[in-house]
Chains A and B, each alone.
Chain A
């Protein structure tokens, strides 16, 4: 089953 992730998780990458 897939799980919703938060948009903030992608801030750190950048």
Chain B
């Protein structure tokens, strides 16, 4: 048994954020909520979604692994309206996940389940020396600047406690510098200077579904994966992106 009702807008955002990196996913559902961890096809990035039971208006579930094609879910959620309620319902007999959208009309969709067995993929518990809390819009703007000069970008913490988004091409260079006085910065927790370099296309995919006022928690170290977390309603979404190393 699995039946859960949530506002369509939040679920759409969760699917949008996930499907930028991953083609298919296995939702591990139980009495506490929905969890899913997946790597992108190149195994460069990892996405982890946690939608606790209290996010839902109604939630009843036993333990199930629900494997779905994210592109199909994305298309269906693309048809959802923000004032609609979404009920997710597992049809174990037909091996399908039903999605029922309700407001003025009742619209029913049904998607086939994939045999994406739960990978038991765990998010590695990495300790980071630095954490930046920044508005998503500001970070996305800095990535756009960096993109003008190269396809990768360095995320740096300077010795004097600044957060620097730095990109260098063959002839050109781009740099966005934030410090504790910047309005877009909500907090900088810094213990040491650090620098890691990342593929820009991945960072853009990771931040694509964000609204400009979403608060990103960006965890940084030297030649370490970047961890980027934000909340969608009560749900939490986490990305890990492996660095480029010299």
Contact = CB atoms under 8 A, between A and B. Distances in A.
Interface of A: 1-11, 13-14
B145 to A, nearest CB: 20
B124 A10 contact: yes
Contacts of B242: 4-7, 9-10
Nearest to B40: A7
A10 B224 contact: yes
Nearest to A11: B124
A7 B38 CA distance: 11
Interface stretch (B25-33, B41-49, B96-104): B41-49
Contact of B43 (A2, A3, A7): A7
Nearest to B152: A2
Nearest to B121: A11
B245 A3 contact: yes
B39 interface: yes
Given A2-B244, A5-B245, A7-B242, A14 B124 contact: yes
A13 to B, nearest CB: 7
Interface residues of B, number: 22
Given A4-B199, A7-B242, A10-B240, 18 more contacts: A1-B246, A2-B152, A2-B197, A2-B246, A4-B242, A4-B244, A5-B243, A5-B245, A7-B43, A7-B44, A8-B39, A8-B43, A10-B225, A10-B242, A11-B124, A13-B126, A14-B124, A14-B125
A5 B122 CA distance: 18
B43 A14 contact: no
A8 B37 CA distance: 13
Nearest to B39: A7
Contacts of B246: 1-3
25 contacts: A2-B152, A2-B197, A2-B244, A3-B245, A4-B44, A4-B242, A5-B242, A5-B243, A5-B245, A6-B42, A6-B43, A6-B44, A7-B43, A7-B46, A7-B225, A7-B240, A7-B242, A8-B43, A9-B242, A10-B124, A10-B126, A10-B224, A10-B225, A13-B126, A14-B125
